[in-house]
């Protein structure tokens, strides 16, 4: 704290509750074990912190706290079900097309379930195939992954920075 001159957030509803900001913009260090559980309980009881992203309706704030916890902490199946109910993946992509014929929606949900339940190598291949800009690189991550080499897809931060650099010429944080 002395290096950055910042004070931790003391509101348990905040996602940065008791996090210590690291110097040189390196992120945050969490000093609280089981922080996600405390945060989910606080948001479930008190609602979201003022000014944070989410619904303004007090009831919906509690629903968002429960579904957010289920999606990120309870396991693959409950997380996948909450994603389908919300019609949104972790990255914000839509799972199925609302208003489309039921058969199409079921196919899209089935594809999402199949992709989510498949091994990471297969997920990488499916990701590459779903991107129209992949071109000659289709399936490269999956092919390399099958050999046992470490393949790490771009983080959400890296993806946002790529989009921001292409659109605005600077990283998304700038």
Which is more confident, 75 or 142?
75
Which is more confident, 118 or 91?
118
Residues 70-90 have a mean pLDDT of 80
Q: Are 153 and 127 in contact (CB under 8 A)?
A: yes
Which is more confident, 137 or 73?
73
Task: Categorize the per-residue pLDDT at 141 as very low, low, confident or very high, splitting at 50, 70 and 90.
Answer: low
pLDDT of residue 100: 92
Tell me whether residue 13 is exposed, middle or buried, using C-beta atoms within 10 angstroms of its C-beta: 0 to 12, 13 to 18, 19 or more.
buried
pLDDT of residue 34: 75
- Whether 7 shows a pLDDT value over 80: the answer reads no
- Report how far apart, in Å, the C-alpha atoms of 54 and of each of 63, 117, 137, 147 are: 11, 28, 37, 42
Task: Categorize the per-residue pLDDT at 97 as very low, low, confident or very high, splitting at 50, 70 and 90.
Answer: very high
pLDDT of residue 52: 72
Residues 46-68 have a mean pLDDT of 78
pLDDT of residue 99: 92
Q: Is the pTM of this model over 0.75?
A: no
What sign does the dihedral 74-76-81-83 (CA atoms) show? positive
């Amino acid at each position: 704290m002395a290096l950055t001159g910042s004070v931790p957030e003391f509101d348990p509803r905040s996602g940065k509750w008791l996090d210590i900001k690291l110097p040189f913009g390196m992120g945050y260090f969490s000093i609280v074990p089981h922080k996600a559980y405390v945060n989910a309980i606080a948001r479930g009881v008190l609602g979201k912190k003022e000014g944070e992203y989410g619904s303004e309706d007090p009831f919906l704030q509690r629903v968002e706290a429960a579904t957010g916890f289920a999606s990120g902490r309870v396991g693959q199946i409950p997380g996948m079900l909450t994603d389908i109910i919300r019609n949104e993946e972790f990255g914000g992509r839509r799972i199925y097309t609302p208003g489309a014929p039921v058969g199409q929606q079921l196919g899209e949900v089935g594809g999402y379930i199949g992709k989510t339940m498949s091994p990471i190598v297969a997920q990488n291949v499916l990701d590459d195939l779903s991107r129209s800009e992949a071109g000659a690189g289709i399936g490269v991550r999956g092919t390399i992954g099958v050999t046992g080499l470490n393949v790490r897809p771009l983080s959400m931060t890296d993806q946002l920075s790529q989009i921001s650099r292409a659109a605005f010429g600077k990283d998304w944080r700038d």
